[in-house]
Amino acid sequence: MKILITGGAGFIGSNFIFYMLQTHPDYELICLDKLTYAGNLKTLEPVMKQANFKFVKGDIADRQAVFELFGSEKPEVVVNFAAESHVDRSIENPGVFLQTNVIGTQVLLDACRQFGVERYHQVSTDEVYGDLPLDRPDLFFTEQTPLHTSSPYSASKAGADLLCNAYQRTYNLPITISRCSNNYGPYQFPEKLIPLMIANALADKPLPVYGEGLNVRDWLYVEDHCRAIDLILQNGEAGQVYNIGGHNEMRNIDIVKLILKTLGKPESLITFVTDRKGHDMRYAIDPTFIHEKLGWLPETRFADGIQKTIEWYLSHKEWWQEIISGEYQGYYERMYGNR
Q: Residue 1: exposed, middle, or buried by beta-carbon count in 10 A (0-12, 13-18, 19+)?
A: middle
Q: Which of 85, 145, 150, 154 lies at the binding interface for ligand NAD (CB under 6 A)?
A: 85
Distance (Å, whole) CA 105 – CA 79: 11
Residue 34 or 86 with smaller CB distance to ligand DAU: 86
Residues 55 to 114 in contact with ligand DAU, rule: CB under 6 A: 85-87
Q: List the beta bridge partners of residue 209.
A: 272
- For residues 294 and 235, the answer to whether their CB atoms sit within 8 Å is yes
Q: Show the site string, 254-283: x = touches ligand DAU by CB under 6 A, - = not.
A: ----------------------x------x
Q: Is 38 in the site for ligand NAD (CB under 6 A)?
A: yes
Q: Which of 7, 174, 190, 208 lies at the binding interface for ligand DAU (CB under 6 A)?
A: 208
Q: Which part of the chain contacts ligand NAD (CB under 6 A), choosing from 110-118, 182-190, 230-238, 282-290?
A: 182-190
Residue nearest to ligand DAU (CB): 125
Q: Is 138 a catalytic site residue? A: no
Residues counted in the chain: 339
Q: Show the site string, 113-152: x = touches ligand DAU by CB under 6 A, - = not.
A: ------------xxx-------------------------
Q: Is 59 in the site for ligand NAD (CB under 6 A)?
A: yes
Distance (Å, whole) CA 105 – CA 99: 9
Q: Is 171 a catalytic site residue? A: no
Q: Which part of the chain contacts ligand DAU (CB under 6 A), choosing from 138-146, 206-214, 224-232, 263-271?
A: 206-214
Distance (Å, whole) CA 160 – CA 8: 18
Sign of CA dihedral 176, 44, 196, 102: negative
Residue 269 or 284 with smaller CB distance to ligand NAD: 284
Please, what is the minimum distance in Å from the beta carbon of residue 191 to ligand DAU? Answer: 6
Q: Where are the beta strands (DSSP E) in the chain?
A: 2-6, 28-33, 53-57, 77-80, 119-125, 175-180, 183-184, 207-210, 216-218, 220-221, 241-244, 249-251, 270-273
Distance (Å, whole) CA 47 – CA 182: 26
Q: Is 215 in the site for ligand DAU (CB under 6 A)?
A: yes
Cα distances (Å, whole numbers) of residue 130 to 94, 115, 148, 229: 17, 35, 5, 22
Q: Which of 102, 158, 173, 180 lies at the binding interface for ligand NAD (CB under 6 A)?
A: 180
Please, what is the minimum distance in Å from the beta carbon of residue 229 to ligand NAD? Answer: 10
Residue 244: phi, psi to the nearest 5?
Answer: -125, 125
Could you tell me whether strands 53-57 and 28-33 are parallel, antiparallel, or unpaired per DSSP bridges? parallel
Catalytic residue annotation: 126-127, 153
Residues that bind ligand NAD (CB under 6 A): 6-7, 9-13, 33-36, 38-39, 59-61, 81-85, 100, 104, 123, 125, 157, 180, 182-183, 189
